[in-house]
Amino acid sequence: MNINAFSLEGKIAWITGASYGIGFAIAEAYADCGATIVFNDINQELVDKGLAAYAEKGIKAHGYVCDVTDEDAVQALVKKVEEEVGVIDILVNNAGIIRRIPMHEMSAADFRKVIDVDLNAPFICAKAVIPAMIEKGHGKIINICSMMSELGRETVSAYAAAKGGLKMLTRNICSEYGEKNIQCNGIGPGYIATPQTAPLRERQADGSRHPFDQFIVSKTPAGRWGNTEDLQGPAVFLASDASDFVNGHILYVDGGILAYIGKQP
Ligand code: NAP
Ligand code: GCO
């Protein structure tokens, strides 16, 4: 086995919404494996925060302000990256939002907003990079899915609809562009400790653990929340030549949640 198949030397990787959290950890791993990092975030403050965090790790990242739901802005960004950095080899659709609101109380505007960021934006970003990938003869697209690509739960109707849709967009990009040597796969993180899930881990007034925190630990065979580092190896694999015949797959990195019926009483 040629271990260099896992190398990302000479590749340009664009990770959306990667100033911190899961996107940042994936970008850090890609840089460690030799890739040049491009990231965007929604405002200059976040981009600056990201640039400082990358610099602290010794990574020279290229950061841009871009709202991934804005097709014109995304097309302009990809053009700029091609001029300033080069053709994107790897796209990670990471930017995402969640609204935890019971469905019967959720406004259609909130529902649409989640679908826009978590489903429409991955379409917009993938569409923007695919033509140059076809021309170059290869490309990797990785969509950050979720447990909610498979499961439902109270209050996350829009998020589950979007992440379920993202799973099928992944399979469709594979179906449509596999013969162009483009691989599109997903990563389905389990419950990962990031700012997005911080409200689910908040300590109670009496200092005890949040009931949802206890629930997740009991639902996870690994017996713990994931951390962002848990996603790094799988993300490198799906970006590298080592996964060239893996296409349309969702790799769940969940400590075993999807395999488990739950603790018996
Ligand atoms: P996060 O901490 O909230 O980071 C997401 C990033 O995307 C933030 O920097 C966010 O900016 C940015 N973003 C949001 N809307 C954007 C837009 N329109 N354009 C550009 N950037 C935008 O989330 P995370 O926990 O690292 O999650 C990253 C991805 O993994 C998401 O797709 C999420 O759904 C998914 N995921 C997370 C978990 C988990 O347990 N944490 C599990 C499964 C899947 P703001 O800070 O301004 O919002
Ligand atoms: C929630 C969580 C989840 C996770 C993740 C699970 O409220 O249930 O935020 O949706 O973020 O996507 O894979």
Residue 263 pLDDT: 86
The residue count for the chain:
265
Measured in angstroms, how far is the CA atom of residue 29 from the centroid of ligand 2? 23
- Counting from 1 in the atom list of ligand 2, the atom nearest the Cα of 147 is 13
Does the structure show a pLDDT above 90 at 19? Answer: yes
Q: What are 100-114's pLDDT values in tens digits?
A: 999 999 999 999 999
Residue 43 pLDDT: 98
Dump the DSSP string for 125-165. Answer: HHHHHHHHHHHHT-EEEEEE--GGGT---TT-HHHHHHHHH
Which is nearest to 61 in space by CA: 42, 79, 38? 38
Pocket-testing residue among 196, 228, 251, ligand 2, by greatest number of atoms within 8 A of Cβ: 196
Pocket of ligand 2 (CB under 6 A): 98, 100, 146-148, 153, 156, 159, 189-191, 196-197, 200
Is this structure's pTM higher than 0.85?
yes
Which is nearest to 162 in space by CA: 106, 96, 100? 96
Residue 265 pLDDT: 87
Return the C-alpha torsion angle 186, 81, 70, 100, nearest 10: 40
Q: What are 158-182's pLDDT values in tens digits?
A: 999 999 999 999 999 999 999 999 9
Known catalytic membership, residue 159: yes
On average, the pLDDT of the chain sits at: 98
Pocket of ligand 1 (CB under 6 A): 16-17, 19, 21-23, 40-42, 46, 67-69, 94-97, 117, 144, 146, 189, 191-192, 194-197
Q: Which residue has the higher pLDDT, 133 or 265?
A: 133
Domains along the chain?
Answer: 3-190+228-256 (3.40.50.720)
pLDDT > 70: percent of the chain: 100
C-alpha radius of gyration, the chain, whole number:
18
State the pairing for strand pair 182-189/250-253. Answer: parallel
Measured in angstroms, how far is the CA atom of residue 190 from the centroid of ligand 2? 8
Q: What are 238-255's pLDDT values in tens digits?
A: 999 999 999 999 999 999
**Catalytic option among 159, 177, 191, 252:** 159
**DSSP, res 202:** P
Cβ atoms of 50 and 19 closer than 8 Å:
yes
The residue-averaged pLDDT of 211-220 equals: 96
Residue 178 pLDDT: 98
Six-digit token pair at 156? 């996350």
- Counting from 1 in the atom list of ligand 1, the atom nearest the Cα of 195 is 2
What does the alpha-carbon distance between residue 239 and residue 234 come to, in Å, rounded to a whole number? Answer: 9
Does the structure show a pLDDT above 90 at 146? Answer: yes
Does the structure show a pLDDT above 90 at 223? Answer: yes
Instruction: Pick the residue whose CA is nearest to atom 10 on ligand 2.
Output: 148
Does the structure show a pLDDT above 90 at 150? Answer: yes
Six-digit token pair at 138? 């290869």
Six-digit token pair at 36? 């040049």
Three-class secondary structure of residue 254 per DSSP: coil
Q: What are 78-97's pLDDT values in tens digits?
A: 999 999 999 999 999 999 99
Q: What are 27-66's pLDDT values in tens digits?
A: 999 999 999 999 999 999 999 999 999 999 999 999 999 9
